[in-house]
Each structure stands twice: as C-alpha cells, then as structure tokens.
A and B are shown apart, each in its own frame.
Chain A
Amino acid sequence: MSAEGGVQYSKIAEIKGPLVVVDDVSNAAFDELVEIETKEGERRLGKVLEVGNGKAIVQVFEGTTGLSISGTKAKFVGKLMEMPVSKEVLGRVFDGLGRPKDGLPDPIADKFIDINGEPMNPEQREYPKDFIQTGISVIDGMITLVRGQKLPIFSGSGMSHNLVAAQIARQASVVGTQDDFAVVFAAIGVQYSEAEYFRRSLEESGALKRSVLFLNTADDPAIERIITPRVALTVAEYLAFELGMHVLVILTDMTNYAEALREISAAREEVPGRKGYPGYLYTDLSTIYERAGKLNGRKGSVTQVPILSMPSDDITHPIPDLTGYITEGQVVLGRDLFRQGVYPPVNILMSLSRLMKDGIGEGSTRADHGEISNQVYDAYSRAQEVRALAGIVGKAGLTEIDLKYMDVGDVFEKEFLTQATDENRTIEETLTILWKIVSKLPKNEITKIKDKFIDQYYQEK
C-alpha cells in the first residue's frame, strides 16, 4: 500500500449492464481496482476487465443502477483489489466485498493481500491425509473429509444444504491435534433469512469466535458475488499459511457465483458456452477450488466445502459437471430422502470422497473404518436393489436374506443417516452405528471385513 493515488477520468463512453466503458484512459492495468464516483458523490468499487485503444472496461461490483454517463467519474486506483487481514478477522462478519457488516470498525490489518491469491506451487503441495471430524455421521463415516481437500456438496433447490453447511461450520474440528481450527464461511447470493440463520447459528453455538463470515445476500448486487469467494479464500489462506491454522472454507451457493459470471459474460458479449455460461467457466472455477490444499513446510491447511444447488437437480448441468472435474469427490443430497424427511438427505450411492482412504484407519480414525464403510456401502446398495424388487414382486416374494437387507436399508436411513441438526457425533459413535447396521446381517454375508474386526465389533443378538 502506498500514498500514491490514481487518476480520475470523467469521460464515460458507455454503461452496459454491470460494465462501464471509460474513454481516453492511459496507464490502466488489467484487474486494477477502480473507484466509481456517482454524480451524487456515492462511491462504488469495480475492476478493469479489458484495456486497449484508450478505453477501459470496468466491471462495477455494486452494480450500475443509478449511474449516468454524465457526471460519473472513474478513478483508477493503481493497485489490485486487496483484503486487509489479521487474526482480528476471526469472529467478524463482513459483506461480500470484505467490508465489516457487524457494526464494528475495519479490522486493523496486519497485511493487505491481493484477493486473487498466489498460485500454489504444485511441487510444494502436500498430499492431504488428516481427518476432519464434522460430527455428521454420513460424512465422517462414509465420505470422510480430510484437511486440504475440496469436497463439494451437490444439492437442489429447496433442499437442506444450508442446514448441513451451518452444522458443519458449527461442529467441524480436527481431532488428535492441538492446532488451531477456523471456519471461513462465504454466503453467496443467499436469502436474508438464510444469512441471518448462519450468523445466529454460529453466534449461539459459540463457534463464531473461530469463524469469519462473508455474507452476500440475494438483494446485494450480483456482480459482488464474483468477489465474495475470493475475499473469503484470501482470509483463509492468511489464517492457514501465515498463522498456521487449519481452515475450513464453506462456499454457498456456487451456483449463484456462476450466474454472476454468466451475467458479466453476456454483458461483454462473449461467445456463450453450455447453457449460456462462459467458455472459461471451468478455468474460472478452478481459480477458486484450487486454492484449497496444504503446503510443504507450512503448518496450516485450507479445506473447501463448496455447496452448489443443481438447477432441476441435474447433475450433468455445467456447474456440477465442471466442479466435479476439479474437486476430489462430492457429497450428493437426494431429493427422495429429502421428501421422506431424512436429514441430512445424503445419497451415499452417488457420493464419494476421493481422499477418504488416506485420511482414515489406524492412527487417524480407527483401523476398521475403511472396511466397515465399504461393507455398509455394499449392504445399502443391495438394500436399494431389494426395495426395487419388492416394488415388483411384493415383500412376500422376497427371501429371508433379502428381508434382512431391507432391514439394513431401514436402519441405515433411520439411525445412521438421520441425525438432529445439533447432534454432534464423535467418530467412535459413528462407527458403532455402522457396526449395528452390519450386525443385522448374518456373519457369512460380511465379506469385506477382516475376521479380527468382526470378532471385535460384531454385535451378536
């Protein structure tokens, strides 16, 4: 940061959607921060998207409503957008652009960091392999999250993803270490009531003091949503790599982020890609998701749980599709389970944590974790087949073992999957329930678990 200011230009050539075209501009830089001043003296922030031929295209984060060509001025600040960071940001609530929203003063900054982050040197990346306990059985037991992983939640409109997000934010912890843990929560284009729910939920559980909230509500300008995940990740990186904390970043809802990107792309008259999203959607998403990880020689980690609501529950939609290419697995919420009133309605057959195998087992969770999880996955899959069969031939047409698998399916959904929103289960409790499910089956049906574990944990009737 320097005392040198930037030049203010007053020739606005055009205002188009969220974009302002400034004329006769010299010395502007790509991504440079711009202060737009309205006729009435109101200030808005923006950034340079394109420069050339004496023109600069500026994307205004707070929207262009109320701006007119005459009287509007654009000041090119001479620096990129930066986020002031310090340990003091913990426990604070900011808006989508990183300005305080809790009535308290700006945090006294230790550093000012470019919100675009610095790319992680791939060679310096450390393979994620340490367990994070969310207290939600289905995630901890079967789709385990590890430190430094990016594990998205694919949801649908109206489903309980926000409850899941808030529960993870409240309960998540690292076990077996005294290292500090923090949660950075970025709400992107959520309803006011949802934003309030997140804030209240963290406040009332006492988890706010280890959290940082960035709230961009649905009535905030859509363009601001481009910035929200970036400021959140900038703070997360600072807490992780400068202060050595393990940081869990929850981004909800990334679909709103992609919508904002589409809006800008349309205003710039770019050639649209699938469903009107820009062709660079994959690259753009990767600039967010790839900011998760661990670095050699650094203590902290950034773990990401982006949440996206799939339009029409379509998993082939460009947003979940491209997200799935970048991230390391996915947690899929199922509409059928949601309709049955199951919370959290996680469809485990479509869910997967690619890094789970490295974060569980002896020394991390428990030696039998991987095997019991595989066995339950297999049994639940069989239960679904049996349910489908029962729908055709009726229950009377099923064999005794089929009925046992049906029972496994019911117990799985009622006792393992179903959990109260304030119920924080330890990994031991989760594994005990998994063994209860498996113990519904006769021992000869248990093919994926070593005998020594069966002898130790199988619950005889």
Chain B
Amino acid sequence: MVSNSSLEQAIDKILEKTEKEILSDLENSASTSKKTLDDSLPILEQEYDQIISNGKKEADKIEKQITGSSDLEARNKQLTTVEESIDKVFTKALDEIANTDRSGDYSNLIKSLLEESTKTLGTTDVIVFTNSKDRDTVQSALSQYSGAELSSETIECLGGVKVKSKDGAMTFDNTLDAKIERLKPLIRKDIATQFGVSN
C-alpha cells in the first residue's frame, strides 16, 4: 500500500522534525537558563553584599545606641552622686560657719565687710542689718562710720552685713550667705576635685 507507506514516511518526518525542534528548544532553554543563572550570579552577589552591608550598618547603629545611652546613664549617675556629696560637704561647712566663734578675727571680717559695703554704695549714710549673733560686733565696728545706723530688725543669715542707703534706693548684700552663693560654682569645683572628679 503506497499510500500507507508515504503516510508513514510523512509521520516519521514530522516526528523527526518535532523531535529536533524539541531537542533544540531544550538546548536553547538549557543555555538560556544557564545564561540567566550566570547573569544573576553577580546581581545576587551584589544583593548579598548589600544585605550584609545594610545589616552591618544597622548593627553599628544599634551598638552606638546601646553604648551611647549606657555611657550617658552611668555618667549621669556619677554626676548625681557627686552632687549629693557636694551638698553634704556644703551643709557641714555652713553649720561650722554658723557656729564660728564671734571673737578675734571675726570682728576684723565684719569691719572689712562694712568697709567694702559703704565703699560700693558710695555713702556712709546707711542702715546696717545683721543677725542676732553679730549685732554686738557690728555695733562696735559702726562707730567708725558717721551716719551709719544699726537696724533694730535682725535678718536670717550665717553672718556678715546687709547695708541699705537711708533713702532705701540702694542695697548691698554682704552677708556670708551671699558671698558663699556667689562663689558656690568655684567651691563646688574645688570639692569635686577633692573627690577626684576632674574635667
């Protein structure tokens, strides 16, 4: 049967052609896949590097955050402790000053405080205020200043004087409290240095 054999031949041809096409497609696909894989490798490596570098950056950031905040916390605790100790020293020093013996050098101190005050105000026509403990010392020192009067009122202070012009326009606070307050930042530094805290 001629027709049957030519049909078989045609079928074989088609099969052979299809097989070739499939094989070639497979080959192409394999090479495309290989190329895609080869091409993606550097991109993948780049992305991998990027992820690693981002991770490293993030880790650095977190490390900085943690060390920064713990450093600060420790420093702040140290500051608070030093301040508490300074306050204790201050309290003790103020107690000692308050209970100082009012004789001897102390009267010289009062004299120099009065001298400084009247000089600063530019007049001796003044009213002088002091605490109850220093009244006698101040009273005796005032004899040198014409026009100066000791007020009958007493003020709350560790010692020293507060001087007011008689017209009430000017006041000069020369009490020990005011002097200590003015020098407090320097005294704090000295105390802190004694504690071994230096800048």
Write the residues of chain A forming the contact surface with B, with a CB cutoff of 8 angstroms: 1-11, 23-24, 26, 73, 84, 86-88, 91, 104-106, 108-110, 112, 203-209, 422, 424
Contacts and interface: CB of A to CB of B under 8 A. Distances in A.
B169 A10 contact: yes
Contacts of B188: 106, 108
30 contacts: A1-B183, A3-B183, A5-B172, A5-B178, A7-B120, A7-B121, A7-B170, A7-B171, A8-B173, A10-B169, A87-B199, A88-B79, A91-B71, A91-B75, A104-B79, A104-B80, A108-B197, A108-B199, A110-B189, A203-B69, A205-B61, A206-B64, A206-B65, A206-B68, A207-B64, A207-B68, A208-B68, A208-B69, A209-B71, A422-B61
B76 interface: yes
A345 B68 CA distance: 30
Nearest to A78: B120
Contacts of B57: 424
A383 B19 CA distance: 55
A209 B116 CA distance: 45
A110 B79 contact: no
B199 A88 contact: yes
B76 to A, nearest CB: 6
B168 interface: yes
B72 A209 contact: yes
Contacts of B64: 205-207
Contacts of B178: 5
Nearest to A110: B199
B69 A206 contact: yes
Interface of B: 57, 61, 64-69, 71-72, 75-76, 79-80, 82-83, 116, 120-122, 168-174, 178-179, 182-183, 185-186, 188-189, 192, 197, 199
The interface centre, meaning the residue of A1, A9, A108, A109 with most chain B CB atoms within 10 A of its CB, is: A108
Q: Binding site of A, secondary structure by majority: helix, strand, loop or mixed?
A: loop
Nearest to A107: B79
A89 to B, nearest CB: 10
Given A108-B189, A108-B199, 19 more contacts: A1-B186, A4-B116, A5-B182, A6-B172, A7-B170, A23-B169, A26-B122, A84-B185, A86-B199, A91-B72, A104-B80, A104-B83, A105-B79, A105-B80, A108-B82, A109-B185, A112-B185, A203-B69, A207-B68
B44 to A, nearest CB: 18
Contacts of B197: 108
Nearest to B84: A105
Pairs A-B, 3 closest by C-beta atoms: A206-B68, A86-B199, A206-B64
Nearest to A88: B199
Contacts of B82: 108
B166 to A, nearest CB: 13
B76 A5 contact: no
A108 B192 contact: yes
A204 B66 CA distance: 9
A232 B51 CA distance: 40
B199 to A, nearest CB: 4
